[in-house]
Amino acid sequence: MATSYFSSSIAVSALVFLVLVSVGIVNAQLTANFYSSTCPKLLSTVQPVVHSAINKEARMGASLLRLFFHDCFVNGCDGSILLDDTSSFTGEKMAKPNNGSVRGFEVIDQIKASVEKACPGVVSCADILAITARDSVVALGGPTWNVLLGRRDAKTASLSAANNNIPPPSSSLSALITSFQNHGLTTTDLVALSDSDLNYNNVYI
């Protein structure tokens, strides 16, 4: 019963991401067939790695969706959440809303390695995150959609932006509503994504 309810919440959240992804598009012309000639086996390369990870651990599907959610809330869906600290910036992984919360980085690394073997230096990590989120939702019994591709990877990340833009669990209702509205999302979207996050924590941990 709990797993079925959880999958339903993920399905609703997936529809929200259709809106969320559009929020992350800034002056970009994204298309579903962006890699049709440069990496024609992209989707068939990503999917089995996602399925394998979820088969090993069911809640990984929610984790991968959540990873995309947290990436998109900081300067758009640009893969900045994947960047490690460097001498010139502190990354987003240790931001308060992310530290001990987001996971699945090793799965993204596995997918990236497989994609690089198929078509080296072609596909952005930001697009891999977007595809992985969709495939995770489908694997959990949710809806599918055509993922628009062609994002460019961020070259920097911002700890402060992550702390300021991703709503922490301690946020008040009014703060959550404001945060989602700032990203072009509604209170309905807030309920769907928050419900998914709550079920992720309560059902599987």
What residues are labeled active site? Answer: 70
For residue 174 the two structure tokens come to 């009014």
Q: Whose CA is closest to 153, among 53, 46, 24? A: 24
Residue 57 is given by DSSP the state: -
Give the closest residue to 139 by CA, choosing from 13, 21, 7, 19: 7
Nearest by Cα to 65 from 28, 12, 113: 12
Beta strands in the chain, from DSSP E residues, in sequence order = none
Which 3 state secondary structure label does DSSP give 145?
Answer: coil
